[in-house]
Structure 1
Amino acid sequence: MAAIFAASAGADTLLLERTKDGGRKILISGGGRCNILPARLDESRFVTDSSPNTLRKIVRSWPLRDQVAFFERELGLRLVEEAESAKLFPASNRARDVRDGLLALARRRGAQLMMAALATDFAPEDGGWRVTLDGSPPLTADSVIVASGGLSVPSTGSDGAGLRILERLGHTVHRTYAALTPITSDPHPFAALAGISLPVSIVARDGERSASSAGGFLFTHHGYSGPAVLDVSHVMVRSRAEGDASGRLLIRWADLDAGDWERALRPDGARTVAGVIRRKLPERLAEALAVAAGVDPSRPLAQLRREERLRLIEMLVRGELPWTGDEGYRKAEVTGGGVNLAEVDPRTMESKIHPGLFLSGELLDAFGPIGGYNFLWAWATGRAAGLGAARHPGGDL
């Protein structure tokens, strides 16, 4: 995106792509469909340890409606909303169409693309920038845009090298961590439920922070996944990394509150505990939750003691999920932490420390939930950086 807007503004633009094809995170997004943007935007769902005000300025620099118009008009990609998730996908349901469209547009606008080009360093030199390449002569430029990503999904080419270089150049890099990653439990008391999925409401909290989400939940062989879990996973990841043993995952298993369950579990004929719960939940899950609450699933409601009923209701509306870890960067969809947003101009993404250095995307200290938020952030920061670099004296990058 940065190359498209820099070249469109008239800058002599060279894009250095580490991989041989580029856009690998685009290709794997949304199960190969590419969740290109959210259908609706809630700025409060972004997470940052930097200034929320600066984050909002950056997000608002290219509004969602204008991003949608860009993809539909400039790339010719009709976007459609997946109603149940409020996500936007290309009508073709092909992530490759998004990746190929962006590369083609960059070329049409005049950018040169150098594939399989690994930049190992960049540093200011004689009023411009010197870029060191692996196995090739160094390059010089008036400006440099760094869009090297974070540490998530290293198989796509992201290894955090850009962050390490920026830190060496004097930028403050807030501690990085895996975000939007599955949570694990060892031992896993619900391993027999692997493959069961359902909509839930979930809260993650520790001594300092909390997050909540509602959406799909999936039992895995090693723990828990699904959009609702991924959206709150950063709280657990950070809690564990900081040695805070207070991290808790609390879950409401159905769209019923304590009063609803109290009424549903009243003694009534020969109905059993599991028989009532499985009206709202999968049968195996209903039985497992009853056992976890210390109640025999086959127990008739008429024989249920008051304290057993209360334990069962607590499990159903505020059940605590045991957990011990997470899947880390290997399965994380994005990196939390990164360069302090206070150190970039939110209008241009130019470094306040080094003129001519522009930053974009995942290496900045911000991420959003599942649903296209992180692409929106990448597109917005890439556009701002591209335009900013093109306007920088010299204008070649």
Structure 2
Amino acid sequence: MHDYPFTVTDRFLHYVQIDTQSDPHAATNPSTEKQKDLSRVLVAELHAMGIQDAELDPYGYVYATIPANTDKENVPVICFCSHVDTSPDVTGAGVKPIIHQAWDGSDIVLPDVENPGDLPQVIRVADHPDLAAQVGNDIITASGTTLLGADNKAGVAEIMDAAHYLMTHPEVKHGKIRLLFTPDEEIGRGTDKVDIQKLGADYGYTIDGEALGTLEDETFSADGVKITIQGVSTHPGFAKGKLENALKIAADLLAALPKDQLSPETTEGYDGFVHPTHLEGNQDKAVLQFIVRDFTEQGLLEKEHYLQDVTKQVLAGYPNSSALFTSIEQYRNMKQVLDQHPAVVDNALEAIRRSGLTPARRSIRGGTDGSRLSFMGLPCPNIFAGEHAFHSRLEWVSVQDMQKAVEVIVNLCQVWEEGA
């Protein structure tokens, strides 16, 4: 693909300027209608490529097919998937992407600030070790007041450019390829309304990873926990010996959690955690929400039992109050499924090697749409997209990494065809 005029950068610069932030508090599918603004653009571009069955469904999912062009009849159907939404953590409205061409290796100072007198955002090389390999490359950032949206619009643009390449290079043989663009991944609902039967794929790949050459085939297993505390409410003027304030009980529970372990800020590698994410209520009733993460289901259970024990210990000081503990499964470690289908990982590693890269298998301290898709019958590891510092104003991606991701996608289609 050395002579191919990549379109991934132009697509990416366009996509990130479309606000697609999802909303965890909305009950609709998708959670925000504005996500469909990008999805409609994708459908139009796919139609322009000659992919006539590209469609946007009512739930915000884009489905499309690159028809097979091989004489082999037993090539598995492969799906490539990315999500169109951006994180609720930082605004995605008014993104102004900047290309730092032939980056010289110095810290990148972003020009825009929220208010006059604010210090600018700085992408410091010391804080971003993956930047060390990018000297001379073209780095794309936002301007300092928004996230960039490389998570996951880099992946979207890479799949779209790979589709463009395959549609304009019929000499590259491949089986049937399905494309899937999802909403609401950032709020844990990216696969809620996926029609697996309609998708009709045998194996899948999310393009939503970080460093160049990486393949993630293992994720956290994840549960959500809600603790509803029922206190004892009474008029504060007559409360002595009667009032048991639900907010104070919740505060005691949070204060009882360890400061040096079991939290995201104190763990790494294969360590799991218990992480409070939301508190609301009043003196009568309070609701605490947590996410619990571990690479094994046994580890999840141990952490949830620990949280139950802490809750009981705190309530011992409030004899007339109670707590309802509810656990909801969110997703499970994709490795449980992928180990049963070794070809899906092996072929991806070969495609990365063919692109001139040294593949690196990694575990991800998080989840992707692929986590849930794997348990829905579509084994689905995660391939790098080149996105870094996601969910922040310091987000960045390099043009050259995005181009390599396009190349990996194209090579992967050929690897599956050759092996059939």
- TM-score normalised per structure 1: 0.36
- TM-score normalised per structure 2: 0.34
> Which is richer in helix?
1
